[in-house]
Amino acid sequence: MNKIITISRQYGSGGREIGAKLAQKLGIPFYDNEIITRAAKDSGFSEAVFENAEKKASNSLLYSIAMGMNAYGNQDIGFTHLSLDDQIYIAQSNVIRKVAQEGPCVIVGRCADYVLRDYKNVVNVFIWADLEFRKNRAIQLYQLKENKAEEEILKIDKSRANYYNYHASEKWGKAENYHLSIKSDCIGIDNSVDCILQFLEYCERGISSGK
């Protein structure tokens, strides 16, 4: 299997666990938010990359707005510097591209589907689930308080959607952005892993066997 699998997921849907188990079954590396962020911080190449990205980004209206500029593009209020959020995004994207070049792997979050949009061997998966299922998981696994769980879940989902919509200029959770999308509470974590495995197997076999 020569594929890079990216997983986008609603908070509490089990997307991270599905990704980890999938990587284990395939015997390939697994990267989540935490690992990518750490690697981005440790990377020596980030400063040079920031400079290039800055030049490119300074021409964009979107970036100007994000930098908090006024309508006249006044350079005094931060034209030449990217926000910390954008700097982190660029460093993370470089890590994602680097690990993708190294070979097959599973990457969870961080707009990896968008970062790798020009790669031919990428399969993008979206995992979502009922709020009730996600609440139960969040309470059990992430020690969220029962009376706060729903609010917290919706807040995190909103922040994931905003992050994706801003950086990828695309809609988070739009079926068309993913090769496969699964409602995990219907079939559970392990069956979701098997569903993805079967899809990957079909991809490998090629369309000829599936007409």
CA 154: distance to chain centroid? 17
* DSSP helix/strand/coil, 11: coil
Q: Does an H or E element contain 104, and which?
A: none
Contacts of a second copy in 172-211 (CB under 8 A)? 173-176, 178-183, 185-192, 194-195, 198-199, 202-203, 205, 207-211
From the list 26, 126, 149, 160, which residue makes contact with a second copy (rule: CB under 8 A)? 126
Give the x/- contact pattern for a second copy in 51-90, rule: CB under 8 A: ----------------------------------------
State the Cα–Cα distance between residues 138 and 40, nearest whole angstrom.
27
Give the number of residues in contact with a second copy, rule: CB under 8 A: 33
Contacts of a second copy in 10-49 (CB under 8 A)? none
CB contact set of 79 (below 8 Å; sequence gap of 6+):
58, 64, 67, 69, 73
Of the two residues 68 and 210, which places its CB atom closer to a second copy in the complex?
Answer: 210
Cβ 82 vs Cβ 53: under 8 Å: yes
Which residues would be at the binding site for a second copy (CB under 8 A)?
A: 123, 126, 128, 173-176, 178-183, 185-192, 194-195, 198-199, 202-203, 205, 207-211
